[in-house]
Amino acid sequence: MNDIAGRADIEALVTEFYTSAFADPLIGHIFTDVAKMDLAYHLPIMCDFWETVLFAAGLYHRNALQVHFVLNARHPLTAEHFGRWLSLWIATVDGRHAGPVAERAKLQATRIAGSMQRRLEGRSGSEFETLRTGEPAWDASRA
């Protein structure tokens, strides 16, 4: 299998992913019935997003979080929904590509899903928000 090399690979990946997501029994209705997503319109936007994430293309200038806040107000998005989205994305990447960019696509999707879920729950988007070391807070007098 080849790595993700550019826009054509991203277009094929994103198309396959959304085909499976739309058909998924857990999250498909969110795309089709709640968001009423027009896939032909949405695909180039998502390709811009992933090309920007993976290749720093600078093509995506929207606020993905705001879109999901609006969607979450109409249909609460749960950890189960984010988990399914992520598992479908990873399976799609793994079924098509192997290499450093493919690994980055899975890592970034994991980070994005986690951050978005935390933000929709009213928490920090940081995956380190609950990091605890067991050590007391830093004290300047001990330095």
CA–CA gap between residue 31 and residue 139 (Å, rounded): 50
Q: What is the pTM of this model?
A: 0.83
Residue 63: what pLDDT?
84
The two structure tokens encoding residue 24: 């998924």
Instruction: Render pLDDT for 87-101 as a digit per residue (tens, 0 to 9).
Output: 999 999 999 999 999
Predicted confidence at residue 42, as pLDDT, reads 93
Choose between 141 and 92: higher pLDDT.
92
Nearest to 19 by CA among 73, 110, 125, 92: 92
pLDDT at position 65: 81
CB atoms within 10 A of CB 23: 12
SS3 of 4-73: the string is CCCHHHHHHHHHHHHHHHHHCCCCHHHHHHHCCCCHHHHHHHHHHHHHHHHHCCCCCCCCHHHHHHHHHH
Half-sphere exposure of 56 (CA within 13 A, CB side): 0
Q: Where exactly are the structural domains of the chain?
A: 7-123
Cβ neighbors of 96 (< 8 A, separation 6 or more) are 1, 9, 12, 13, 16, 102
Q: Which residue reads 């499976």 in tokens?
A: 20
CATH value of 7-123 in 3.40.1800.10, 2.160.20.60, 2.170.190.11, 1.10.490.10: 1.10.490.10
